[in-house]
Structure formats: C-alpha cells, structure tokens
Structure 1
C-alpha cells in the first residue's frame, strides 16, 4: 500500500540561515563516500568548523550578484546542496543515503535556472579526477568535458579536476 502526502516531500529551495550545519554535514558525508581514494587523508583532515563558517558566509553574505546556495529537501531534511557563482556550479553534493532519488537532478535544474535568470548562456563545473558517478550524472544531464583541467594542491597531495560545460 502506497502512502500519499498532500504536500511534496522532495523539493529545492534557496538556503536560509541555519542551513550551514546541514550543508556542511552533506558535503563531508559525500566527500567521505566518494572521494576517499582520490583525496585520501585530506578528507580526514577537513576542518568542519571552518567549513561551516564558510557556508554560513556563503548563505548569509554572498560575495556578489549571481552567487547562491540551494538546498535539496526530503521532507524537512536537507539532503543535498548546490552552490552557484556567475556561470558556474561551484559545488553539488547529495548525501550518500539519498542518492539516485532525483535530488541531484532537481538541484542541477534549479542551479541552471538560477544561472539563466542571472543572464548566463553556458554552465561550467569541475569534476575531480576519478569521480565516475559525477561524470555519468553530468553526461546524462547534457554536460561534457570541454578540455581544460587544473591541478589543486590539497596540502596532502595534488589532485586534478576537469572542466565540464554545456550551453543553457
């Protein structure tokens, strides 16, 4: 027997003050589940309090026009987030226990809508080397690698990210 609710139990909304703790939790859970092989000890060395302060600043005091944090909800629980800057999806993570339920697709759609509203004609994001799940997700969403890559020094090891993009 299926249960029905009168209101949607999944949604995306702009982040509000107080969401920074949940956004940080989702980011740490997602990185631990997805990037341990690539990032290694970096994941264990994360300064969670500093991350939470940065998310609080991003939510409460965006650095300028075109910057926003969006959150995916399953009922009242924050289960994912996306951060956008002019023309870019800077971050998009879904808690491992809530993946493959459409939250990532809803977040990406909302992020692209936000970018369009702000006048962007393309979307760009970066994918950490070895993140095959994200590559499959982005490819199924119409994005593809467009050539540039960058090396990031994490303090423990260097990692490579590749740029993906699409016209919107």
Structure 2
C-alpha cells in the first residue's frame, strides 16, 4: 500500500484561534502587501484578531456561521469562515458567503485551499444555500485564478473599503470585487 498524505479539514475548536489569526495575518502580508501597504499591515493587532477568532469559534453569531481549519497532520495550516446570506426575496433560496479563506504561505499550493473551499460549500449547501459568494481584493490575481479554477466568477459588484490611514494620514481605500457561483 502506498503512503497517503494526512491532510484534512475540520471545524475549528477553542484553542485554534491563535493559529488562525497568525495564518490570516501571514497570508495578508504576502498577498496584499502592494494593495494594503506597509502602514496598514504594520498596524494590524494580532491579539485583536485572536480575540475575534476566539469569539467566532466559541460563540458564532448565529446559525450558518462556521469556522473551519485545514490540517497537515496535527498542524493547522489554513482557515476558512462562512456565513449565510439572506435570499433577495421569498422566491429564492438563501446563499452563503466565504468571509475568509487563507492558507499559511509556506503551505500554499498543496490543495489545502481547495479542501477548505469544498468543505465550506458543503456546509453552505447543508444549510440550504444555492449560491456562494466571496470578495476579492483588487489586484489579487492568485485568488482570482484559484476561484476561477473552482468555478466561481466575478459578478460585476464592487465595493470600496477604508482600511485605515495611508502614508499621508488620509484614509487608505481598497476595492474588492464579488465572485459568485451557483452551488
């Protein structure tokens, strides 16, 4: 019998929040350095991220909110978070949104992101969703390629977010584009 990889996705449990926060921040520093800039990235408070993830894991804000982790053996190497999206009207099914999906930079391109996305979609389907959406920071070509390979595509919606002060103390604003797929 050939050896197999010991990789998996599981629900996050109390105690995962520090690793989840570190993964998210490390991934942002690599993927968004050009867009967010050094000032914004250096201002991120790791403990605040840990505290928010602790709450999301131990006391989700409502039904349909899930936090998942990808594991390589016993090591947590990635994370994802999903939430429900209300149906636009009574004739349509609700949807879901992938709020976060990150893999630790040294562990990227090993299938962890695909496993996380598949597990997230499975949870959304189980909760009655018939579509999934997520937001992509402008210029994140790697995430766009990943989502496109998974069957998602941009739907034309854009939003602008203030991320904090820029180098000249004015608000630093980034654009995000919504990606979507029926599930």
Q: TM-score range by the shorter chain?
A: over 0.9
The reply to whether residue 158 of structure 1 matches residue 167 of structure 2 is no
Aligned residue in 1 for 2:77: 79
Deviation at 1:4, TM superposition (A): 2.6
- Where does the alignment leave 5 or more consecutive residues of structure 2 unmatched? 85-95, 166-171
Q: Distance in 2 between matches of 1:77 and 1:149?
A: 36
State the Cα RMSD in Å: 1.0
Query: C-alpha deviations, 1:39-65, integer Å up to 9, x for none?
Result: 002111101101100000000000000
Between the two proteins, the alignment pairs up a number of residues equal to: 164
Residue 140 of structure 1, aligned match among 149, 158, 161? 149
Per the normalisation by structure 1, the TM-score is: 0.96
Q: Give the aligned partner of residue 60 of structure 1.
A: 58
Equivalent positions of 1:14-29 (< 5 A) are 14-29=11-26
Whole-Å Cα distance in 2 between the matches of residues 152 and 77 of structure 1? 33
Rg (Cα) greater in structure: 2
Distance 1:162 1:129 in 2: 7
The separation in 2 between residues aligned to 1:95 and 1:89, in whole angstroms, is 17
Secondary structure of the residue that 1:65 maps to in structure 2?
coil
For residue 131 of structure 1, the aligned residue among 116, 126, 140 is 140
Residue 42 of structure 2 aligns with which residue? 44
- Give CA deviations for 1:24-52 in whole Å, capped at 9, x if unaligned: 01001101111010000211110110110
Tell me by how many angstroms 1:155 deviates. 1.3
In 1, distance between residues paired with 2:145 and 2:164? 28
- Unpaired segments ≥5 residues, structure 1: none
Question: What secondary structure, in the 3-state scheme, does the structure 1 residue paired with 2:41 have?
Answer: helix
